Amino acid sequence: MLPALLRPAATFGGAGAALPAFLTRERLTGFFVPLTAVFAGWIVQDFVVDRWFDVDPDFRQQSWLYWYDTDWLAALVAIMAVLVLALTRRRLDPASSLILHMAVGWWIGFLLLVVVLDWRMTPPRGDNWAGCLGMVAGMLVYFWRSRLSGEESIADIRNLFLFVGADPATGWLDGCGVTVDRGGFVVTGAQSEQNQGRPVPPLETSVPGVFAVGDVRSGSVKRVGGAIGEGAQVVAALHGFLGDMAKPAL
């Protein structure tokens, strides 16, 4: 099983060596769960193949599981793993997005270069090379979309406007019942099953008595002044909620 796992895992080596130069420690830590999901999928893949399919490792190119003697199944499993993780967490985090870009790039490179253009390696060499080129292209597309170029520039700037809050750190809310949108921002002011039809204040989350203000809130203006105003506004909402809780039920 180990050699089969090392083949697809090695394709992430270049990205793993380059990412620390671009990403912070917090964003690098975000790769743990998605990579664990992918490796778990590959372990299940190898277990199923070894147990229910008769594949001769010396002539694996003769099996449909190794189309053109490639690891297409590993790339497909990686796609499925990150999509299942995204559906479970109800958001696509940056780490899962990178893995998805690379795995989809593998398929695009393989289908375009090998299947469509029929650019083949001389047997017994496999055609994983095309998928690897696609993975590199997918990684570059991810870097371009994320503005991770690695370039440095110097400019004479008199004023600086810093935008904070585009990547909310709300993963710890998973399983708490607090609803977040596709970007991971906390949804407030919306009805939920837990609110039982009562009027919901604009800053209250889907969990009664739990409020969110500032950049982490979905739909906020992402400005310091706005966060300060919401912080002052939520005090009255908290007092109102606690006051309602203290009233005896009729």
Going from the C-alpha of 58 to that of each of 4, 55, 69, the distances in angstroms are: 13, 9, 11
Mean pLDDT of 124-128: 72
pLDDT at 118: 87
22 and 79 in a single domain? The answer is yes
Measured distance CA(218)–CA(235) in Å, rounded: 19
- Give dist(CA 227, CA 170) in Å, integer: 17
Are 191 and 137 part of one and the same domain? no
Residues 127 and 37 in one domain: yes
For residue 1, the model assigns a pLDDT of 40
Q: What is the rounded average pLDDT of the residues 170-185? A: 88
Mind listing the pLDDT tens digit for each residue in 1-19?
A: 434 444 454 555 556 666 6
**Is residue 127 located within the same domain as residue 14?**
yes
The C-alpha atoms of residue 124 and residue 195 are separated, in whole angstroms, by 64
More confident residue, 108 or 54: 108
Cβ-proximal residues to 113 (8 Å cutoff; 6+ apart), any chain: 119, 130, 133, 134
- Residue 109's φ and ψ, nearest 5 degrees, are -65, -45
Q: How far apart are CA 138 and CA 143, in angstroms?
A: 9
pTM here is 0.53
Number of domains in the chain: 2
Residues 130, 211: one domain? no
CATH classification at residue 214: 3.50.50.60
Residues 235 and 124 in one domain: no
Give the three-state DSSP class for 158: coil
pLDDT score, position 145: 82
Does residue 103 form part of some domain? yes
Could you tell me if residue 73 is inside a domain?
yes
Q: Who has greater pLDDT, 248 or 96?
A: 96
Q: Residue 125 above 70 pLDDT?
A: no
Q: How many residues does the chain have?
A: 250
The pLDDT confidence band at residue 139, using thresholds 50, 70 and 90, is confident
Residue 215 lies in a domain: yes
User: Angle at Cα 110 formed by Cα 105 and Cα 111, nearest 5°?
Assistant: 100
Within its chain, how far is the Cα of 183 from the centroid? 10
Bridge partner list, 209: none
Q: At residue 78, does pLDDT exceed 90? A: yes
With beta carbons less than 8 A apart as the criterion, state whether 103 and 141 touch. no
Q: In the predicted model, what is the mean pLDDT of residues 13-31?
A: 70
* Domain shared by 70 and 186, yes or no: no
Could you tell me the residue range of the domain that residue 66 belongs to? 2-145
**What does the block give as tokens for 164?**
């904070």
Structure tokens at 234: 């939520």
Q: Which helix (H) or strand (E) holds 244?
A: helix 224-246
Q: Do 91 and 177 share a domain, yes or no?
A: no
Whether 40 and 134 share a structural domain: yes
Residue 6 placed within a domain: yes
Domain boundary among 127, 145, 163: 145
Q: 131 and 179: one domain?
A: no
Q: DSSP 3-state assignment of 242? A: helix
What is the arithmetic mean of pLDDT over 75-93? 92
Task: List the structure tokens of 106.
Answer: 């593998």
Shared domain for 124 and 47, answered yes or no, is yes
Say whether both 204 and 124 belong to one domain.
no
Of residues 34 and 125, more confidence is placed in: 34
The single-letter code of the amino acid at 59 is F
Quick one: DSSP state of residue 70?
Answer: S
The burial of 8, by beta-carbon neighbours within 10 Å (0-12 exposed, 13-18 middle, 19 or more buried), is given as: buried
- Our separate counts of H helices and E strands in the chain read 8, 0
Output the average pLDDT for the chain: 81
How would residue 188 be classed by pLDDT, with cut points 50, 70 and 90? Answer: very high
CA distance 127 to 121: 6
Quick check: 130 and 137 in contact, CB under 8 A?
no
